[in-house]
Structure 1
Amino acid sequence: MTRHRIYTMSFASVYPHYVTKAERKGHSQAEVDEIIAWLTGYSADQLQRVLDEEVDFETFFAEAPAMNPSRSLVTGVICGIRVEEIEEPLMREIRCLDKLIDELARGKAMEKVLRG
């Protein structure tokens, strides 16, 4: 099986795009960070270390302190694919994060984004 290119991309190279997407719609970097913390368990300091060290996506998720069990509640379409139907676990985690950021940018209340 061919590995997806995104697995080896640094999380730091994509993170600014998440922030820009949120900010364009009136949201903040703090909200993006809150989503990342909810999903992965990374603290602010841990997230900064990941960004500084340019950790790749595969390592980012493999070393996540505490993946949220409620992430299975994240459903819907992102990039034309249903999140809940993605079989590759790492790709599902990446698309789950994409979906959460997309929901924030579309104006969904943070409580709903974080499945509260």
Structure 2
Amino acid sequence: MAGHRIFGTSVASVYPLYVAKVERKGRDAADVDRVITWLTGYDADGLARALADEVTFEEFFAAAPRMNPDASLITGLICGIRVEDVEDPLMQRIRYLDKLVDEVARGKKMSSILRGSGAEVT
């Protein structure tokens, strides 16, 4: 079964683009890390290891400790596509991540980005 090209792309190759996007808007890499860990359950060491090992998006999400159950609350458009309507589970997870990074870059409050999960706002 052929997958989309992004499935085989390393997270480490896209991560600097996420960081650059949020930094242009006055946020930082810690905010990117926070949304990634919220979504996937990776801790800081696990995320750093995944980036260092240059795992693909497919491997990254397959090895995620747990997908946040509130991820289904992520809605809206990313690249002209409604994230809630994406049928492929892996592509939907990638789009969820894109949407979270986009919200960080747009300056949304972290409590809103993390979907009111009771996460401490910093």
> Which TM-score bucket, shorter chain as reference?
over 0.9
Q: Distance in 1 between matches of 2:22 and 2:54?
A: 21
Q: Distance in 2 between matches of 1:88 and 1:69?
A: 17
Shift of 1:107: 1.1
Distance 2:115 2:102 in 1: 14
**Which digits, 9 at most, give the CA deviation of each residue in 1:44-103, with x for residues without a partner?**
100010011000000000000111000000000000000000000000000000000001
Unaligned runs of 5+ in 2: 117-122
Cα drift, residue 3 of structure 1? 1.2
Q: TM-score, normalised by structure 1?
A: 0.98
Number of matched pairs: 116
2:20 paired with 1:50: no
Query: 2:38: which partner in 1?
Result: 38
1:62 counterpart = 2:57: no
Query: What stretches of structure 1 of length at least 5 have no aligned partner?
Result: none
* Aligned alpha-carbon RMSD (Å): 0.7
In the alignment, what sits opposite 1:77?
Answer: 77
Q: Structure 2 length as normaliser, TM-score? A: 0.93
Secondary structure of 1:46's counterpart equals: helix
User: 2:2 and 2:58 mapped to 1: Cα distance?
Assistant: 14
Give the letter aligned to residue 72 of structure 1: S
| Structure 2 counterpart of 1:89, one-letter code | P
Aligned counterpart, 2:25 = 25
- Runs of 4+ displaced beyond 4 Å: none
